[in-house]
Amino acid sequence: MPIPVPRDLEQARRAIQAWLAERRPKAGSLAVSELSSPGMTGFSNETLIFDVSWTEGGRPCSESLVIRVRPTGHRIFLEDDFELQYQVMAELGSRQAPVPAVHEFETDPSVLGAPFFVMSKVAGEAPGDVPSYNAEGFIFDLDPAERHRLWVSAMEALTRIHRESAAGGFEFLAKSGRGSTGLDQQIHYYEESLAWAAEGRTQPVAEAAWEWLSGHLPAERPTALSWGDARLANMLFEGAECRAVLDWEMLSLGGPQMDLGWWLFLDRFSSEGMSLARLDGLGTREETIALWTERTGLAAGDVEFYEVFAGLRFAVIMIRMARMFEAWDVPAPPDMETNNGATQVLARMLDLEPPGQAW
C-alpha cells in the first residue's frame, strides 16, 4: 500500500545541512547524506534518516541521525504532544533507559515546515508491521529458541522502561483537566478521541467496547509513565537483542499496565487480526503477564480491562487511518474504519459477532 512522500527530500536535505552547519560552527566541510523516509510505518510523525560527516581538528567525523517532524496535515491522534515526546526521551535517556539519545529540539517551523527534534540513529532492525513479523522478516527466519531469546530481551526492555520511570519525574505529562489520576485522564482522552474520530458515524465495536470498559473500571487508577505504543514493531534489534524502544506518540501517565495491555492486544492483532499463525518461541499471553509481573513487581489483576482498552484505542486509530487513506486517495476497503483486524479481535474479546470478513 503506497504512502505518499510528504516532502521534497532533496530540499529537506539542504535545509537540514544548513541548520546543522549553523549549530556546529567548528565542524568543517559538514555534509548531510541523502535522506530516507520509512514509507510503511510512522503514520503519525514524519521520520527522516541520514548520515552527517564533517572534519574537526583535521580528523574526519561522522554520525547517523534521525529527525522526527511534528505532523502538520492529517492527524492520527487528537493531540500530538510532540515536545513532550522529546522531553520524556531525554529524561529516560538520562536514566540509561533503552531509548535513542535525543540532541536538539527546534521550534522554528521555517526549517522543515514544522518543529522537529534530532536523535541518534540506533543500529538495529525493527520487526515488520505490514506484512507482519509473523509472516516474513528476520523474526520469522529465526528458530524458536532464538525467537524466545528475542522475546525475553524485548520484555526486558519494556519492563526496564517501567522500572526506570517508577521513581516519577514525569509530572509534566499530567492533563489534570481530564481527571485526577493518569488512568482517568487517558480514559477521558479516548472518550473525546472516539467522538472526534467518528464524526457522528456509528462505530458498533468501539461503542460496545466503551460500554464494557465503563462497567469494568479498575479500583486502582495509576498515575505513572506509559510508553503507549509498546510492541515488537517499535523496537530495534541486533540479532536477538533489543537495543532501543521507539515511537512515543502515545505516551501518557496512564501507568505501566496500559503498556502490558497494549502489548498483549497488539501481539494478538499481529497474528489473529491478520489471519496468521503466531510464531513459536514468542512468549504466550500467560508467559508475558508472568514475566512482566516478575520484572516490574507490579500487579496485573485488571489485565482484561487494559486489553480491551487497548482494543478501543486501536479501533480509534484505525478510524483515523481510514480517513487518512481517503484524504490521500490511497486504495482501502470501504468499511475499513469499522471492519479491520483491530475491530475483529476486539469483537471476539467482547463475545460480539465480528463485523464481517477482515480485509
252-302 per-position pLDDT tens digit = 999 999 999 999 999 999 999 999 999 999 999 999 999 999 999 999 999
Domain spans of the chain, in order of start: 9-120, 138-349
Q: What is the pLDDT of residue 23?
A: 94
Where b means 16+ CB within 10 Å and e means fewer, 306-331 reads bbbbbbbbbbbbbbbbbbbbeeeeee
Read off the pLDDT band of 1 (50, 70, 90). Answer: very low
Peptide bond into 256 cis (omega under 30): no
Residue range 18-72, pLDDT digits in tens: 999 999 999 999 999 999 987 544 466 789 999 999 999 889 999 999 999 998 8
Output phi, psi for 273, to 5 deg: -65, -15
Cell of 356: 464481517
Distance CA 322, CA 250 (A): 19
Residue range 183-242, pLDDT digits in tens: 999 999 999 999 999 999 999 999 999 999 999 999 999 999 999 999 999 999 999 999
Q: Minimal CA–CA distance to 251: which of 319, 178, 303, 175?
A: 175
- Output the CATH code of domain 138-349: 3.90.1200.10
Identify which has the larger pLDDT, 358 or 132.
Answer: 132
- C-alpha distances out from residue 264 to 8, 84, 124, 222, Å: 38, 25, 23, 19
Distance CA 262, CA 281 (A): 20
Mean of pLDDT values over 83-103: 97
Amino acid in position 287: E
Per-residue H/E/C for 137-177: CHHHHCCHHHHHHHHHHHHHHHHHHHHHCCCCCCHHHCCHH
Pick the CATH number of 9-120 from 3.20.20.70, 3.30.200.20, 3.90.79.10, 3.90.950.10: 3.30.200.20
- CA 105 centroid distance within chain: 20
Q: Name the maximum alpha-carbon separation found in the chain.
A: 69
Residue with the three cell numbers 565542524? 27
Fold: same for 9-120 and 138-349? no
Q: What is the pLDDT of residue 178?
A: 98
Read off the pLDDT band of 73 (50, 70, 90). Answer: confident
In this prediction the pTM is: 0.95
Give the length of the chain: 359
> DSSP alpha helices (H): ranges in the chain?
9-23, 82-94, 138-141, 144-164, 182-198, 204-214, 256-269, 285-296, 303-327, 341-349
